[in-house]
Amino acid sequence: MNAAAPPPALATRALVAGYERDLPIVRGVDFEVAPAELVVILGPNGAGKSTLVKAIAGLVPIHAGQAFLAGADITASPVQEKVRHGLAFVPQTENIFATLTIQDNLQLAADILPRSEQAARIAEVYELFPDLAARRSACAGNLSGGQRQMLAVARALIVKPSVLILDEPSAGLSPKIVGEVFSRLKEINTAGITIVLVEQNVKAALAIAHRAVILVEGELRHDGPAATLADDPIVAQLYLGATPAGREEQR
Ligand SMILES: Nc1ncnc2c1ncn2[C@@H]1O[C@H](COP(=O)(O)OP(=O)(O)OP(=O)(O)O)[C@@H](O)[C@H]1O
Ligand SMILES: [Mg+2]
């Protein structure tokens, strides 16, 4: 018999989550991400994508179901404990401290590490992001949109996460900068870090993802390889403004 397969890097089981107890936004989501996989979560505005990833990260109450990190139940773990277990989350907004320098942004992220390891880890992250290293005394608020996102990613990487979750890192960026940010994310993933990416930028996200899921009204409606999803009529319908074949007359 084969040795047991490793547990998913991240998983949810029948996850129900929302801001108020009687108002579930995420409604029974079973979601699995394999080690070193890059999965994109797509879905219309208000579908609950942010709520799902915030619930996994510990920022929105989980009403029912479970969340697992490398097989360990993290459903009830406080945020800091999830971080210590290897889960990093880059929220869509307010993911850096704009009034602080790049160095201080990284130092704050490193504060969770043993003091003796902090400087070395910051130096390692600067090696990954030479543009940030060259401007370490610059105020983060003066960075371009793309550089800010890279700083947010750099902050998340400080703790050497096994799983990196990002909520719409391309929001507000020009197509060229989106390409740069996404190719860095792909490199980070290729280096072995599991990535979950919430995106509205469907084509760019599918180009780097292994697999895509679609969340609609708090439920997973599709789960499949990213390569074929771009040609899928469901995606065309939901995102590209297409109508189901032969249904024009019903609109
Ligand atoms: N802080 C909050 N308190 C109460 N309800 C909220 C809160 N944030 C979001 N919601 C509600 O939760 C639902 C899902 O929102 P969510 O932000 O998760 O969607 P999303 O899929 O991330 O959408 P978008 O693509 O616009 O980012 C929406 O009905 C929204 O109004
Ligand atoms: Mg959102």
pLDDT tens digits for 210-234? 999 999 999 998 899 998 887 777 7
Q: Which CATH superfamily is domain 10-250 in?
A: P-loop containing nucleotide triphosphate hydrolases (3.40.50.300)
Pocket test for ligand 1, best of 16, 19, 21, 51 (most atoms within 8 A of CB): 51
Joined tokens for residue 35: 């080690």
Residues in the chain: 251
Q: Say if residue 244's pLDDT is above 70.
A: no
Say which range, 49-58, 75-84, 197-206, 241-250, has the weakest mean pLDDT: 241-250
Residue 101 three-state SS: strand
* pLDDT tier, 245 (very low <50, low <70, confident <90, very high otherwise): low
Nearest CA to ligand 1 atom 3: 19
Q: Say if residue 250's pLDDT is above 50.
A: no
CB 179 within 8 A of CB 204: yes
In degrees, to the nearest 5, what angle opens at C-alpha 201 toward C-alphas 28 and 46?
40
Residue 167, C-beta contacts closer than 8 angstroms, at least 6 positions apart: 49, 50, 53, 54, 89, 90, 91, 92, 198
HEC-encoded secondary structure of 72-96: EECCCCCHHHHHHCCEEEECCCCCC
Q: 50 CA to middle of ligand 1, Å?
A: 7
pLDDT tens digits for 56-108? 999 999 999 999 999 999 999 999 999 989 999 999 988 999 999 999 999 99
Which amino acid appears at position 94 of this protein? Answer: E
Spans of all domains in the chain? 10-250
At residue 107, the pLDDT reads 98
